[in-house]
Structure 1
Amino acid sequence: MDRFTETTSVSWGGRLKQSLIGMLIGIVLIIACPFGLFWNEGRAVTTAKSLDEGAGAVVSVDAGRVDRANEGRLIHLAGNTDVSDTVADTGFAVTAKALRLYRRVEMYQWKESTESSTRTKLGGGEETVTTYSYEKAWSNESINSADFKEPNGHRNPRMDISGQDFVAKQARLGGFALSRDVLDQLGNWEPLSVPENRLGAMRSAYRGSKPISLTQDGIYLGNSPDEPVIGDYRITWVVVAPGELSVIAKQVGNSFAEYQTAAGDGLLMTAEGIKTADDMFAAARTENTILTWILRGVGLVLLFVGFMLVGGPLAVFADVIPFIGSIVRLGQGLLAFSAALLLGGGTIAVAWFAYRPLLTVAVLAGVAVVIGLFIYAGRRKPAIV
């Protein structure tokens, strides 16, 4: 592994200038995050209402027969999928009787890693020691070596072959044709083995100049899989095979489309296996809850970062004496954490009242009752025996 170490220094004045820029970014975060948190609560309510609306309107139908009376309605069906043709990756003459076929591509490239350590010096300056490490690795994304700190000797060629998704044109679920929107949601991938007798066809289809050889998982583009060089490729294929599938969507002819709810969201859901409509809506509600909490957490973290950036100049001032700067940063962190919780929690509470007024009043009433019971119990005098 190649290594390159660089030591940089920033004066106290330079750090102060950086912290002032950071303060402006922090102000933007503090202003923007409450709007994001408020939006998230609205999104969660809209999705919940849409799911409730869909659960009340959905009709379970027989997958084997298309009933024209259900045209435009939200339907649920489950059964076995089938394909009448093959899906193909013509670039390598790979075919499969599957719902989806995906080409996975990795190229052998240089990869840069960095490790940094920073210390604050007396007087407020800062010294950073950064070590850049270079190693050869397989990557499914193109790594731009022009961005390396030391590109000489670590140059990557352009990645000319990329991953690609192919879907069956004639896939069915009983009497219904599976639309592209439905197929794009399927992701129960299985590896596809490449038979040895296909190697000749693959060499004819491949337009590049690299030698092709079979591997246990797929093919190798390069001279030797055991001794890879920069620019070699490993390519494998995975498929979504026909099997049991459940769908909730709007019936359009003998196919599916997104069902637009009055609440605001469009509904088009799939699930591997035979699932009831109730099971699919329950899973969707769980996903909505999880996403809501994840976005709440992201919003609170960004608020914390914003408050820390706003207080950055004060910490830099204190770093004239590094020990004092550490104490200031500790206090700043506690204040930023508290401020993020207050502003973020307050925003969520206001959004709850705006989007769920009846539920909010019910929760507050319940809390008031509990507090009242505790007060009442505390004032009762114990009986004298």
Structure 2
Amino acid sequence: MSDNSGRDSGGSWANPVGDTPGSSGDGGTFTTTSSQSWLSRIGSALVGLLIGLAMIPGSGVLLFWNEGRAVQTARSLTEGAGAVRSVPADRPDAANEGKLVHVSGPVRVTQLPFDAELDAKPPNGTLRLVRHVEMFQWQEENQSETRNRLGGGTETVTTSTYRRGWQEGRVDSGRFRQGEGHQNPTPRYAAASFNAQGATLGGFRLSDPQIGGLPADQTLTLPGSGEGTRYIGNDPNNPRVGDLRVSWRYARPDAVSVIAAQVGDGFGPYATNAGDRLQLIQSGSVPAAAMFQQAQDDNATMTWILRLVGVVVMFIGWALLFNPLKVLADVLPFLGSLVGFGTNALAGVLTALMAPVIIGVAWLFYRPLVGIAILAVGIGLAYGITRLRRRAPQQEKLA
């Protein structure tokens, strides 16, 4: 029995072609076959077990921390909504120094943002200009199929397909399974962002980080061409690897709204009693209440995203913890499949039980009333699963 421990044991080409012009290109396919012995798989599974032992408590820490972060942010936003005062934009009032203010109005700039390398200039009133660069380049797509062999070993066949197409940034061709004939050059230009200089909101100055928080959502049309993209290469109808397409987007809002601490004639973060530093900026004339509501919605969305991440990490951790059982059973492939299904199901059940409990404990710590409700749901779920497991043998006996 061979043991390559995941190394390629062979490779073959199918229909490779050179770098000829065209809007898309087929660089052929490259197939490799690798094998791994049962003993090597057991070693890998034991390493995975150690990783799983770290991932399970790590996911619990993430879930607990996320609930605290969510509560702290929500309290800070509520505190800010009660403390903010809307003030005129024409000039700063020294009486508001250090206080949380809401300012809204049109913005003026002393110097427009300008892409000097490519001579791209946006229209008057622009606060921010963003350059996007796409390169025509080689791209690799891998598809792998792993087959279990009698005795516990595996054989993996990986097919790598190479095509040329447009993509932002540079694909690292040094990581291709078959790099020969598929080298991507370093692009002549990279993505970049440019901010206006001397931007003022009435009598208040706007800093670069504040301008950078505004979305560049308008497409720049190049003067004289009527197009929004500049092609850098010989023939846009027949691109070659290394050719570039450059486009720009810009932020030119009719007005800007800011919620932050007044610091001199500018803005800075406002320290809340809850422990956060508030600073909100949006395009348009947006009331303070609407800005705080949007921030609360964004906080809720981020909370659910991090919860999902924590749950997925916990499930993977449990699956890695039980994976050695599947590998041991893979001596007979059909038995390994059954054990794998069972261990994955067990990992799912344990995750479904543990994640709500951890979240509930976190809420008990941060918000006791809500935490009690979440814990009740988790306990009810655990009780229901236990009842189902007890009922199944009884039904089998009656049958």
The answer, yes or no, to whether TM exceeds 0.5 is yes
Q: Determine which structure has greater relative contact order: mean sequence separation of CA pairs < 8 Å that are 6+ residues apart, divided by chain length.
A: 1
> Structure 1: how far apart are the matches of 2:309 and 2:267?
35
Give the alignment partner of residue 182 of structure 1, picking from 188, 192, 210.
210
Equivalence for 1:42 = 68
Preserved CA contact (<8 Å) 2:128 2:216: no
Instruction: Please state how far the C-alpha of 1:358 moved relative to its aligned partner.
Output: 4.9
Instruction: Please state how far the C-alpha of 1:83 moved relative to its aligned partner.
Output: 2.2
Distance 1:302 1:362, change over 3 A: closer
Give the alignment partner of residue 52 of structure 1, picking from 78, 98, 102.
78
Give the alignment partner of residue 271 of structure 2, picking from 260, 268, 288.
260
Preserved CA contact (<8 Å) 2:76 2:275: yes
What is the 5 A alignment of 1:3-42? 3-42=29-68
What is the 5 A alignment of 1:68-217? 68-96=94-122, 97=124, 98-196=126-224, 216-217=227-228
Give the alignment partner of residue 238 of structure 2, picking from 227, 230, 248.
227
Distance 1:232 1:188, change over 3 A: closer
2:110 counterpart letter in structure 1: S
The gaps in structure 1 that reach 5 residues or longer are 197-213, 366-385
Instruction: Please state how far the C-alpha of 1:181 moved relative to its aligned partner.
Output: 2.3
Structure 1 residue ranges, 4+ long, deviating more than 3 angstroms after superposition? 358-365
Instruction: Please state how far the C-alpha of 1:215 moved relative to its aligned partner.
Output: 8.2
Q: CA offsets per residue over residues 277-308 of structure 1, 9 Å max, x none?
A: 11111111111111111111110111000000
What is the 5 A alignment of 1:322-337? 322-337=333-348
Q: CA offsets per residue over residues 23-54 of structure 1, 9 Å max, x none?
A: 11111101211111111111111111111111
2:129 counterpart letter in structure 1: L
The gaps in structure 2 that reach 5 residues or longer are 1-25, 377-399
Preserved CA contact (<8 Å) 2:29 2:160: yes
1:230 counterpart letter in structure 2: V
Give the alignment partner of residue 283 of structure 2, picking from 260, 264, 272.
272
What is the 5 A alignment of 1:299-314? 299-314=310-325
SS at 1:158 equivalent? coil
> Structure 2: how far apart are the matches of 1:26 and 1:37?
16
2:108 counterpart letter in structure 1: D
Report the TM-score, using the length of structure 2 for normalisation. Answer: 0.84
SS at 1:239 equivalent? strand
Cα RMSD, aligned residues only: 2.0
Equivalence for 1:205 = none
What is the 5 A alignment of 1:344-363? 344-360=355-371
Report the TM-score, using the length of structure 1 for normalisation. Answer: 0.87
Identity within the alignment, %: 45
